[in-house]
Amino acid sequence: TTATQKTVDGPSSKDWRGGRAANTNIIPSSTGAAKAVGKVLPELNGKLTGMAFRVPTTDVSVVDLTVRLEKPASYDAIKAAVKEASEGKLKGILGYTEDDVVSTDFITDSRSSIFDAKA
């Protein structure tokens, strides 16, 4: 939910969905997150697109990342690479978990992103 999201159905200057009640709906929306990643990681600039879902939670968001790889890779290999990065050069920024977590488990987490290996 954002500051511009309506608490009851009403008009929106952006789009019809944005005018729907935030506390009772999962609302598909645009996001600038994919463009922001390209600014932080220039090698990914222009290679990502994305969308957001506005959901009635107090904090935390979710990303469902789908990628096309140049070489085949198993999910176990991807998990291992992410876990290694979370313990190495991205420690404190990227987290990794295999716990059965839900959104409220991340509210006090200071890391920017947590890879949920069981999701």
Question: What residues contact residue 61 under an 8 Å CB cut-off, 6+ apart?
Answer: 52
Q: What would the DSSP string read from start to end of 37-64?
A: HHHHSGGGTTS----EEE-S-SS-----
Report the C-alpha gap between 67 and 88 in whole angstroms: 22
Domains of the chain, by residue range, sit at: 1-56, 58-119
- Please write the tens of the pLDDT for every residue from 4-15: 666 666 666 666
pLDDT at residue 6, rounded to an integer: 62
Domain 58-119, CATH 3.30.360.10 — does that match?
yes
Identify the segments of the chain with pLDDT beneath 50: none
